[in-house]
Chain A
Amino acid sequence: MKLLGILKFFISLIFILLFNSNLTSQTEQDSLITKNKYGIRIGLDISKQIRMLTEEYNGLSLYGDIKIKERLFIVAEVGRDNKNINNENLKSKFSGNYIKTGLNYNLYNNLPGLNNEIYVGFRIATSKFESEVFEYSIYNEDQYWSQDRVQENILYKDLNANWIELVVGFNTELANNLFMGASLRLNRMIKQKEPANFKNLFVPGFNKVTENNNFGTAITYSIIYQIPIIKK
């Protein structure tokens, strides 16, 4: 549940940014020539690395975007997730790759020369993955026999999922060309291939999948670097 703490921290960060919009506007800007930066930005979602410390999880997520209009960015994200789901009935693992593409629209009115964003956006995402069950318990109300778990390795290959994400987040320029950003995502599953005798409890990129529910949520916390190619 440490993740929840981290989550709360970033949520408060977003709120601070939202409700004290003036905070980010205090930088002195004397220059009359305003340079709007265009170019490719690349980033790393370090919330994955934070998760690796607190959960049986490892993963990597790379971020890339390019500004195509004053307020509009094309975004792509690729990554890999390996997540163990262990509970009283099950020991299992989900691993695979995903790719997401979409747009961010910046709602924030920057002072000239600043490059901060508070954005809304969407992603279209797809994931290819596999799941593996190592141990499971048998639901038996009767306690006549020992209730030990059954140990049996079952591998489910060639699973996939497609979903869309609604994104709200911010990116703020910490230093020249270096940004920090966080986002909240609401995911809506469109289609998923499940094995006949198991469920996708976790989908790489989508995060946790709850039963009889097409929605999921996720957070990201990214460090982004702008490769300065074009300056207008």
Chain B
Amino acid sequence: MNKLKSLILVLLFLLIACEPDDICLDSIEDTPKLILRFFDKETTKLKSVTNFQISSLDSDNSLFFGETDSIAIPLNHKVDLSNFNFTINSSNTNSNSDNILINYNRNPIYKSVGCGYILNYTIESLIIEKDSNNWIDRYNIYKSNIENETTRHIEIFH
């Protein structure tokens, strides 16, 4: 009978100990962002943008970068299309805005109870809206699968 008692105690302990872990661990990567790098349209060497501002019709937030040749931006995870307004020299009088539409497929990947899903994207197409004075000369989709943030996905030449 003593063995039975200890067995029940072990079972009770396990009942208490086996509570599920509903927290999202930091070691789990979140949804990867889109990495853009900026190049000179003539020399094709890296060329920074200054006072660079990103806004979108679908978001109240805007992102600001002082001077950089590389940015990471989140795509809209609710729809297959993100629209952005890229403004260079945003604080100056010679500011210039270009509208960019990015079309992609969303691929949900289950992570855990605590984290939920992340998305991986596949870029289908990118459109730079023509205006009277585009600062973006051309683009190149360097890597269409957005699975991590280790390398650039889109190259912008200006």
Contact = CB atoms under 8 A, between A and B. Distances in A.
Given A145-B74, A145-B76, A146-B78, A138 B61 contact: no
Interface residues on B, range: 35 or more
B18 A216 contact: yes
A89 B114 contact: yes
Contacts of A70: none
Given A139-B115, A211-B20, A215-B18, A145 B78 contact: yes
Contacts of B63: 144
B94 to A, nearest CB: 27
A24 interface: no
Interface string A154-198: 000000000000101000000000000000101000000000011
A28 interface: no
Interface stretch (B5-13, B38-46, B85-93, B139-147): B5-13
A120 interface: yes
Interface string A125-158: 0000000000011111111111010101000000
A150 B108 contact: yes
A170 to B, nearest CB: 10
Interface string B133-156: 000000000000000000000000
Contacts of B111: 139
Nearest to B33: A142
Contacts of B119: 138
Interface in B1-58: 1, 4-5, 7-8, 11-12, 14-15, 18-22, 24, 28, 30-31, 33, 56, 58
A186 B14 contact: yes
Nearest to B11: A184
Contacts of A16: none
Contacts of B28: 139
A18 interface: yes
B14 A215 contact: yes
Contact of B113 (A7, A18, A148, A201): A201
Interface string A26-64: 000000000000000000000000000000000000000
A154 B56 CA distance: 30
